[in-house]
């Protein structure tokens, strides 16, 4: 057996997938070939290190709860013909931030436009000030004159602002439906820095799109200044 | 005969640990890994009848989850595979800072190991996507070539040569980074 052949069978050999005969031939080769022995040993060592790369363990009953949620989501869908719960719906249910029955909507409990250079009323967009590193639930509600299934909701966040639970995502998109009448959407925003900017919420249905813009300004946290050392376990 | 929720649970529960591990390799975040597993369960529960008839559910489930990931997450143009060593403790603080360096000249063994793991993780990230997927599924997560064939829908011969080249490249990268 040549070295090239031996290495061909490296994986099967290590996975115990070789038939006895083939295994015997390979063993014989290894005995007489230090180079191949080294390759096999190096490979095993590398694999052992790779296997040991840590993975965080989920909460104890996470799997059980996830199974239950999957069953419920299906039964819910069957019962009420609603589109399935997407990440947002059940994740919020877990955090208590959004009742599962809330579907999507957009409108505002926001303050009137913030002060600044005078802008013609049509160009002004509503503004909101949020605190740095604090979760601010912004409620958007939209009135729909009919039920719309399969609407696509997109939230485009300004730099430095995230949707709690969606780290490092400037765009969050999901599918949902709008009922006839008033629909409510709650976005838990977290500002990670002072940049701020415009949040854009889009609702797309069939070929139409509705866009809402909200100016977000960030101010320092209202709570007591955090002691930088406190989180590091030093006294 | 329909499969009850309890029967479904019995079918999938034994595999969720491994699925979660692979989900973490794919997404790089604990929260996203949980999301991906949740999405998988939501997707396969309506198909539990099919699932019950499969001899080996794990490769099938892995395949479905992998496709879910590719379809949903690649659109967000993130690097598909992450082997980041997550050192943060629960409060988000880098847990390695909790152990103050001691005065002895020998490096802390645990610290050495962590550095090595980080080096390894970074090297794997630098592999091409095909190479990374192959190494992650086979060497990191221990799936067999046969299982990989089912998960990736790719002939074993191709997978073998991919693995071979991936490992060679990985060794090169490790040597480079000292």
Q: Where are the domains of chain B?
A: 5-76, 109-176
- For chain B, report the end-to-end CA distance as a whole number of angstroms: 60
Q: Which of A30-44, A175-189, B95-109 has the lowest mean pLDDT?
A: B95-109
Average pLDDT over residues B119-148: 90
The Cα–Cα gap between B170 and A47 comes to: 11
- Whole-prediction pTM value? 0.54
Question: Which residues are registered as beta bridge partners of A162?
Answer: A190
Chain B contact for A165 (CB, 8 A cutoff)? yes
Under the banding of pLDDT at 50, 70 and 90, the label for residue A212 is confident
Do you know the residue count of chain B?
178
Which of A117-121, A126-130, B6-10, B125-129 is predicted most confidently? B6-10
The Cα–Cα gap between A52 and A58 comes to: 17
Above 0.90 for ipTM, yes or no? no
Q: Which of residues 37-96 of A touch B (CB under 8 A)?
A: 42-43, 46-47, 49-56, 58, 62-64, 66-71, 73-74, 84-85, 87, 90-91
Tell the residue number behind the tokens 């290590």, with chain if given.
A14
The Cα–Cα gap between B28 and A185 comes to: 28
Under the banding of pLDDT at 50, 70 and 90, the label for residue B106 is low
Average pLDDT over residues A51-60: 86
Under the banding of pLDDT at 50, 70 and 90, the label for residue B31 is confident
Q: Tell me, what's the pLDDT at A194?
A: 87
Q: Give yes or no for a contact between A139 and A109, defined as CB atoms under 8 angstroms apart.
A: yes
Give the strand order in the sheet containing A127-131: A127-131, A208-219, A197-205, A148-156, A171-178
Among candidate residues A110, A100, A88, A104, the one with its CA nearest the CA of residue A142: A104
Q: Which two tokens stand for residue A219?
A: 């101010």
Among candidate residues A13, A47, A15, A8, the one with its CA nearest the CA of residue B136: A47
- Say which CATH topology domain B5-76 has: Rna Polymerase Sigma Factor; Chain: A (1.10.1740)
The Cα–Cα gap between B81 and B125 comes to: 7
The Cα–Cα gap between B29 and A135 comes to: 20
Q: Tell me, what's the pLDDT at B98?
A: 39
Q: Give yes or no for a contact between A49 and B116, defined as CB atoms under 8 angstroms apart.
A: yes
Q: Tell me, what's the pLDDT at A9?
A: 83
- ∠ Cα A190 A196 A199 (to 5°): 75
Chain A contact for B156 (CB, 8 A cutoff)? no
CA distance B4 to chain A (A): 10
- Say which CATH topology domain A101-219 has: Immunoglobulin-like (2.60.40)
Q: DSSP labels for A9-65?
A: THHHHHTT-S-HHHHHHHHHHHHH-HHHHHHHHHHHHHHHHHHTS--PPPPTTHHHH
CA distance A141 to chain B (A): 26
Which letter does DSSP use for residue A121 in this model? Answer: T
Average pLDDT over residues B137-141: 92
- As annotated, the residues of chain A forming the CATH 2.60.40.10 domain(s) are 101-219
Q: Which CATH number is correct for B109-176, 1.10.10.10, 1.20.950.20, 1.10.540.10, 3.20.20.150?
A: 1.10.10.10
Distances (CA, A) of B12 to A141, A224, B15, B16: 39, 47, 6, 6
> pLDDT higher for A48 or A77?
A48
Average pLDDT over residues A104-126: 41
| pLDDT tens for each residue of B37-86 | 999 999 999 999 999 999 999 999 999 999 998 887 655 544 444 444 44
The Cα–Cα gap between A183 and A107 comes to: 9
CA distance A71 to chain B (A): 7
Chain A contact for B120 (CB, 8 A cutoff)? yes
Question: Which residues are registered as beta bridge partners of A204?
Answer: A152, A209
Tell the residue number behind the tokens 């659109």, with chain if given.
B75
Task: Give the mutation candidate from A5, A6, A11 for the B interface (greatest B CB count, under 10 A).
Answer: A11
| pLDDT tens for each residue of A5-51 | 888 788 778 777 788 898 999 999 999 999 999 988 988 888 888 88
Among candidate residues B15, B72, B7, B76, the one with its CA nearest the CA of residue B39: B72
């Amino acid at each position: 057996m040549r070295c090239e052949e031996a290495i061909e069978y490296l994986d099967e050999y290590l996975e115990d997938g070789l038939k006895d005969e083939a295994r015997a031939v390979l063993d014989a080769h290894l005995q007489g070939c230090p180079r191949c022995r080294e390759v096999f040993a190096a490979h095993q060592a590398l694999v052992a290190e790779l296997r040991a790369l840590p993975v965080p363990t989920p909460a104890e009953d996470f799997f059980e709860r996830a199974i239950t949620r999957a069953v419920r989501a299906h039964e819910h869908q069957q019962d009420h013909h609603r589109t399935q719960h997407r990440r947002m719906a059940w994740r919020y249910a877990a955090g208590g931030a959004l009742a599962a029955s809330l579907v999507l909507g957009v409108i505002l409990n926001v303050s009137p436009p913030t002060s600044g250079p005078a802008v013609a009323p049509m160009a002004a967009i509503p503004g909101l000030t949020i605190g740095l590193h604090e979760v601010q639930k912004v409620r958007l509600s939209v009135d729909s004159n009919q039920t719309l299934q399969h609407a696509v909701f997109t939230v485009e966040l300004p730099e430095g602002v995230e949707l709690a639970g969606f780290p490092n995502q400037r765009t969050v998109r999901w599918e949902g439906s709008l009922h006839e009448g008033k629909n409510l959407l709650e976005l838990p925003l977290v500002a990670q820095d002072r940049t701020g900017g415009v949040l854009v919420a889009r609702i797309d249905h069939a070929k139409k799109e509705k866009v809402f813009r909200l100016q977000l300004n960030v101010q320092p946290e209202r709570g007591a200044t955090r002691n930088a050392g406190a989180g590091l376990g030093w006294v | 005969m329909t499969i009850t929720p309890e029967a479904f649970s019995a079918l999938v529960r034994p595999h969720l640990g491994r699925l979660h591990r692979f989900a973490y390799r794919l997404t790089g975040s604990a929260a996203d890994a949980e999301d991906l597993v949740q999405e998988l369960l939501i997707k396969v529960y309506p198909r539990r009848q099919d699932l019950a008839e499969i001899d080996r559910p794990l490769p099938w489930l892995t395949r479905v989850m992998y496709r879910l990931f590719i379809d949903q997450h690649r659109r967000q143009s993130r690097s598909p595979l992450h082997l980041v060593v997550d050192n943060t403790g629960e409060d988000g603080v880098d847990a390695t800072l909790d152990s103050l360096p001691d005065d002895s000249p020998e490096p802390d063994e645990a610290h050495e190991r962590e550095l090595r793991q980080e080096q390894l993780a970074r090297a794997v990230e630098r592999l091409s996507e095909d190479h990374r997927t192959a190494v992650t599924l086979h060497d990191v997560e221990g799936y067999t070539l046969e299982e990989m064939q089912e998960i990736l829908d790719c002939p074993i011969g191709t997978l073998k040569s991919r693995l071979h080249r991936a490992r060679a490249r990985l060794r090169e990268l490790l040597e480079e980074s000292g």
